[in-house]
Structure formats: C-alpha cells, structure tokens
Amino acid sequence: MKKLFLIDLLWIGLAILAGLVWSQHDQNEYASQLDHLGMSETAQEYVTTSSRSITTAISELDKTDFKGYQVQFVAKQVVYVYQRGTVASLPLDSGQWFSAGDFASSLPVTVVGRDLADKLYTGSNNQRYLQVNGQYVPVLGTVGTRKGSPLNKVIFLNASAQTTNSKLKLKQVKIYVDGASQHSKALKTAFKAKNIHRVHFSDSNASTWWHAYGQTALFSLFLLLGAGLLTMLMVVLMGPLQTAGLDLNMRARYLRGVLSSCGGHIGVSLFLGGLFANWWFYFTTRTNIWVFLVVLTIAAIFFLRYLIHRKDKASATT
C-alpha cells in the first residue's frame, strides 16, 4: 500500500478544496445575513395591521420568560431593537452593542451603520450623538460590513416598554423575530399578527439563487467527481488482486481486507484534510463541511467496493 501514499495526499488536498468551497459558501451566507440586519435564516416576519404601539407590544413581551431572541421593528433605515438574553451580535467597528439595561430603560441610545459616522456630533467627554426624530441620541457604537451593504446605513435604536422615542404603530413597521420560533403563538398575540412568514434572504431571480446556492452545488459535484477519479486511481495502483486459487470464503475475506485497507486510507486522509481546512478557513458553522466529508467518504467507499468486485470478476474471467 506504499503506492497509495501519493493518493493519500490527493485525498487530503480534496478535503482542503472542500473546505474552501464550504468556507466561501458560509461567507456568502453570512454576508447575506448582514444585509438582512443580522437576522438568521430561521427568522420570522410577523404581518399585522394592528394600531397597537411598539411600546405596548413590548410591555406584553416583558411579561414572558422567553430568552435568547431578538425583535426588530423596521421603519425604512431606522430599526427599533428589542432583545432578551444573549443573541448573535452584528460586527462592530467601534463601541458596543446594546446592553440588557438598554431594553428596560426610558432613555434612547443608538448604534449606527458606518456610513453614518460623518453625521455624528461629538459632545463632552468625546460622547457622540446622532439626531433622530428631532432629538440628540447618544451613540453606543458603529457597525459595518463590506461596502454597499444596507447594514452600513441603518440606525438601530433600543426599544423598551418605557421608551418614548417612537410613537410608531405596529402596522407602520415590519416586524422580524429571530430565535423564538417556538413561541410564535404568544408573539402572534402580542403583535396582533395575522400571518407569520419565514424571512427569505434570496430573491426569486436566478442570478441571486445561483450566487447563494448554485456555485456551492456545482463545486460539490466536481469534488464528488474528483473523489470518483481518485478511487479509480487507487484500484489501478493496487495492482492485480491475489485471489487465484482461493475458495469463496477466503476470497470474500481477502476482498474485505482490501476494501478495509483502502477505505481506511480514504477516511483518514479526508479527516486529516478536514482538520486542516477547519483550522485554516473561516466557517460560520462547521457542520456543513463535516457532513459533506462524511458523505464524500461513504460515497467513495461504496464506489471502491463496486470497483474492487468488478476487478475481481474481470480477473476471474481471464
């Protein structure tokens, strides 16, 4: 099996390429998430025509014991944020995100997109302010991502049952909730919502779908084809099978041994390549790359089994 050492390196390289593909997929997905103000793919939109105020709805949410979720009341470029517990935060350029106390305070504070930094006023002690709804609101920090992202132009304001910085009614905003899908019944009541929809990150046009999913699917297919070629090369390099003169039981045992040895090379090499990819590349979640490598390993071993048995039959007929 020393001949398989080069093949082992190629398997490791294939796993690293898989890491690159899925890392790029995660980066595109994360960029899309930031364009949607940090909402994940499990976020829900609550559609309502209620004249209930935002503060009234929040006061009802305050009575619950739900944790680990965020609500965004979106009015164009101004977003009123209500948060309970720890949730994923947006990338900060400076300062900090809202604290738990901000969601129980009557004093408005803001976090702004980086493109609004030149519109800030600096007061005493270098405290920055942004004029919102006719009043100067202290700025906690700035957030930002790649150039052109909608996130860079957004004004985030804390929302609580005590804030007076917004008299907006629920029907005047879009309501997005992330991290509380299991509490949708109670949330639907609080918002007097008629319908609940999943937040869709991708538009319906083909180019957007291709950018989000198509490239990853295509490159994954190429990786599967590459795994097939490497498997065929393994079978060629292993040379002739030593099955001549063996009875059926011995023959089956020998073939299982060959399959086990070659399958071990595949599994170990892909695992080592996966470890390197996880160390080297950026992933928002590492589940995708490991699931793909497991699928790749299983597919390669099944194909290897088929090729070994076909080679054995061919040698028997000759």
- In angstroms, the CA 22 to CA 28 distance is 10
More confident residue, 35 or 59: 59
Look at residues 276, 289, 207 and name the one whose alpha carbon lies nearest to residue 27: 289
- Residue 24 is inside which H or E element, if any? helix 5-35
- In angstroms, the CA 255 to CA 276 distance is 32
| 175: pLDDT strictly greater than 80 | yes
| 88: pLDDT strictly greater than 90 | no
Per-residue pLDDT averaged across 60-75, rounded?
90
State percent of the chain over pLDDT 90. Answer: 42
Confidence grade of residue 203 (pLDDT, cut at 50, 70, 90): very low
Give CA torsion, residues 180, 44, 83, 175, to 10 deg.
Answer: -140
Tell me the per-residue pLDDT of 257-307, one tens digit each, with 9 for 90 and over.
989 999 999 999 999 999 999 999 888 778 999 999 999 999 999 999 999
Tell me the per-residue pLDDT of 21-47, one tens digit each, with 9 for 90 and over.
998 887 776 667 666 778 877 888 999
Tell me the per-residue pLDDT of 132-164, one tens digit each, with 9 for 90 and over.
878 899 999 999 888 878 888 899 999 888 775
Question: What's the confidence (pLDDT) of residue 96?
Answer: 92
Question: Both ends of the chain: CA-CA distance in Å?
Answer: 24
- Lowest mean pLDDT: which of 24-33, 73-82, 183-192? 24-33
Per the prediction, the chain carries an average pLDDT of: 86
- Lowest mean pLDDT: which of 93-97, 117-121, 179-183, 280-284? 280-284
Confidence grade of residue 19 (pLDDT, cut at 50, 70, 90): very high
Please say whether the beta carbons of 154 and 113 come within 8 A.
yes
- In angstroms, the CA 151 to CA 11 distance is 40
* Amino acid letter, 3: K
- Name the pTM for this structure: 0.62
User: 263-302 b/e with 16+ CB inside 10 Å = b?
Assistant: bebbbebbbbbbeebeeebebeeeebbbebbeebbeebbe
Please say whether the beta carbons of 57 and 170 come within 8 A.
yes
Q: Residue 20: left (phi > 0), alpha (psi -120 to 50), or beta? A: alpha
| 317: pLDDT strictly greater than 70 | no
State percent of the chain over pLDDT 70. Answer: 91
Question: What's the confidence (pLDDT) of residue 297?
Answer: 96
Please say whether the beta carbons of 26 and 216 come within 8 A.
no
Per-residue pLDDT averaged across 45-54, rounded?
92
Tell me the per-residue pLDDT of 89-101, one tens digit each, with 9 for 90 and over.
788 888 999 998 8
